[in-house]
Amino acid sequence: MSEESIHPDNTETQGTRPLRLFVFPRLDVVLRGLSGIELDEVLHQVKIMEPEIFPGEEAATEFYYQHLTTHIRPVYRCSLSDHAGSPFPGPPFSRYHTAPAETGLPIEVAFVLDDPIRCTLGDDWQYRTIELSVKQKPSHKTVRRYPKHPHLELLEAVNDLESELYAYHGARSLDALSDFWSSFEVHRHITEHALKMQRHKEAYDQPVSEALDFVREHLMNYVEDCLTPLADVDAQGLARKSDVQLDERATPQDQPWTSAESMLDGPKPDLERLIEEKEYIILAVAARYLERHPDHVRRLVREKKILRVGQGRPIKISSESLRKYKRG
């Protein structure tokens, strides 16, 4: 059955945003407590996961609240044709070299709180073709390449997926890349490869589940630090510094790019103007206001030194709590 026939509401929107009609099973706990006997069955189930599809958001949301332990929040369907903006000039995922400053929340908790999966990809992404192509690469056909550092094995697989994305679609807009890296399909892809690594868990010095947690969080941070939709940033009164010029001849080692460079370099604005008359601001703007790295701001949120407003991504932070923290 074609995607068009099973997605009858794919052209409907609420205001300026697409309707969230698709409720997928959760991917974030599949490695917990697995035995070797059931691993292949779990891998099969992950490969064939399909969403529950609803005629309206109210029905989708009601189903989600009835299945909190097994399903993620409703997501929308993203078509590549919806994103016709100019190519994103910032760093690709493979050149994003920040790392968590400290161990954060367990990833299954973070998935519930932060909703890194926002959408499912439409036909025009040609995702199945991209995935079939990338699965022919050594990063996908072999495991145990980095037994001492399994997260590097997963990162290599994600980097190759990115290469295939650019091979098929070329440079794309910030919004398009944000949707791609926030899609169910990409997170399923990473989970599948981790399950294949789990077959040989004795060969790795660290648990594969921890490697998967690391890569998921790294991807979530990339989306938040580099691919926050421009509309979200503009609404905060701050022009995002996304015009990072990358020398095409440089390697990732030659020219690392971090969110700290994006947030803290360049002319200093009137910082108070970033948050005046705003009830909350997104984490990227909070990092600029506090003149701190985004990872430091995340830690302040976890320690409740500044207050988070609501759930979902991008993370929103109370302006008043930022003022109090800065004064104190």
Taking the C-alpha atoms of residue 130 and residue 160, their distance in angstroms, rounded to an integer, is 10
pLDDT at 269 over 50: no
What pLDDT does 9 receive? 41
pLDDT at 110 over 50: yes
Q: What b/e sequence results for 252-286 when a residue is b if at least 16 CB atoms lie within 10 Å of its CB, and e otherwise?
A: eeeeebbbbebbeeeeeeeeeebbeebebbbbbbb
212 and 265 in a single domain? The answer is no
134 and 179 in a single domain? The answer is yes
pLDDT band at residue 66 using 50, 70 and 90 as cut-offs:
very high
Nearest Cα residue to 280 out of 307, 305, 251: 307
Lowest mean pLDDT among 48-52, 129-133, 245-249: 245-249
Q: Kindly state the DSSP code that residue 81 receives in the 8-state scheme.
A: G
112 and 184 in a single domain? The answer is yes
- The domain spanning residue 313 has which CATH number? 1.10.10
The per-residue pLDDT for range 311-325, each reduced to its tens digit, is: 666 688 898 999 889
What pLDDT does 245 receive? 29
Nearest Cα residue to 319 out of 272, 280, 284: 280
pLDDT band at residue 250 using 50, 70 and 90 as cut-offs:
very low
What pLDDT does 42 receive? 86
For 177-189, what is the mean pLDDT?
96
Q: What is the pTM of this model?
A: 0.71
What pLDDT does 169 receive? 95
Q: Report the chain's terminal Cα–Cα distance, integer Å.
A: 60
The beta-strand segments (E) located in the chain are 13-14, 17-18, 22-23, 52-53, 76-78, 119-121, 280-282, 316-318
Phi, then psi, of 52 in degrees rounded to 5 = -80, 130
For residues 225 and 262, the answer to whether their CB atoms sit within 8 Å is yes
Task: Decide which of 129 and 256 is more confident.
Answer: 129
Q: Is residue 314 part of a domain?
A: yes
The per-residue pLDDT for range 1-54, each reduced to its tens digit, is: 334 333 444 445 554 678 999 999 988 777 665 665 578 888 888 999 999 999
Nearest Cα residue to 187 out of 131, 125, 122: 131
Burial class of 111 by CB neighbour count within 10 A (0 to 12, 13 to 18, 19+):
buried
Q: Which of 210, 227, 244 is the last residue of a domain?
A: 227
For 210-239, what is the mean pLDDT?
71
Q: Is residue 210 part of a domain?
A: yes
pLDDT band at residue 185 using 50, 70 and 90 as cut-offs:
very high
Report the chain's C-alpha Rg in angstroms.
20
Nearest Cα residue to 207 out of 150, 278, 159, 143: 150
Task: Decide which of 135 and 45 is more confident.
Answer: 135
Average pLDDT, the chain: 78
Lowest mean pLDDT among 105-114, 187-196, 246-255, 290-299: 246-255
For residues 316 and 281, the answer to whether their CB atoms sit within 8 Å is yes
pLDDT at 249 over 70: no
Q: Is residue 48 part of a domain?
A: yes
Taking the C-alpha atoms of residue 7 and residue 10, their distance in angstroms, rounded to an integer, is 5
For 142-168, what is the mean pLDDT?
95
What pLDDT does 6 receive? 39
220 and 309 in a single domain? The answer is no
Nearest Cα residue to 235 out of 180, 179, 275: 275
Q: Is residue 241 part of a domain?
A: no
71 and 151 in a single domain? The answer is yes
Domains in the chain, number: 2
What pLDDT does 134 receive? 97
Most confident range (mean pLDDT) of 40-44, 120-124, 210-214 is 120-124
pLDDT band at residue 106 using 50, 70 and 90 as cut-offs:
low
191 and 118 in a single domain? The answer is yes
pLDDT at 262 over 60: no
Distant-in-sequence, close-in-space partners of 165: CB < 8 Å, separation ≥ 6: 130, 180
Task: Decide which of 68 and 140 is more confident.
Answer: 140
Taking the C-alpha atoms of residue 277 and residue 50, their distance in angstroms, rounded to an integer, is 43
For 279-301, what is the mean pLDDT?
80
For 243-256, what is the mean pLDDT?
30
190 and 268 in a single domain? The answer is no
For residues 240 and 233, the answer to whether their CB atoms sit within 8 Å is yes
pLDDT at 171 over 70: yes
pLDDT at 101 over 90: no
Residue span of the structural domain in which 14 resides: 3-227
Nearest Cα residue to 154 out of 116, 185, 191: 191
Q: Is residue 91 part of a domain?
A: yes
